[in-house]
Amino acid sequence: MMREEKSAYWRQRVEAFQASGGALKNDCAQEGIAVAALHCRRKRFAGDSETQTRSKDTADFLPITIAPVRSSGAAVEIHLLSGRHLKLTAPVKLAWLRTLVQVLEGSCG
Domain boundaries of the chain, sorted by first residue:
3-53, 59-109
Instruction: DSSP letter for 86, please.
Output: E
Per-residue model confidence (pLDDT) at position 89: 85
Nearest-angstrom CA–CA distance, 44 and 46: 5
Per-residue model confidence (pLDDT) at position 46: 74
Per-residue model confidence (pLDDT) at position 55: 47
Per-residue model confidence (pLDDT) at position 24: 75
pLDDT along the chain (109 residues), means of 10: 80 81 78 81 70 51 71 77 85 88 74
pLDDT digits (tens, 9 = 90+) for 15-43: 887 787 777 788 788 878 888 887 888 88
* 102 φ/ψ angles, rounded to the nearest 5 degrees: -65, -40
pTM of the model: 0.38
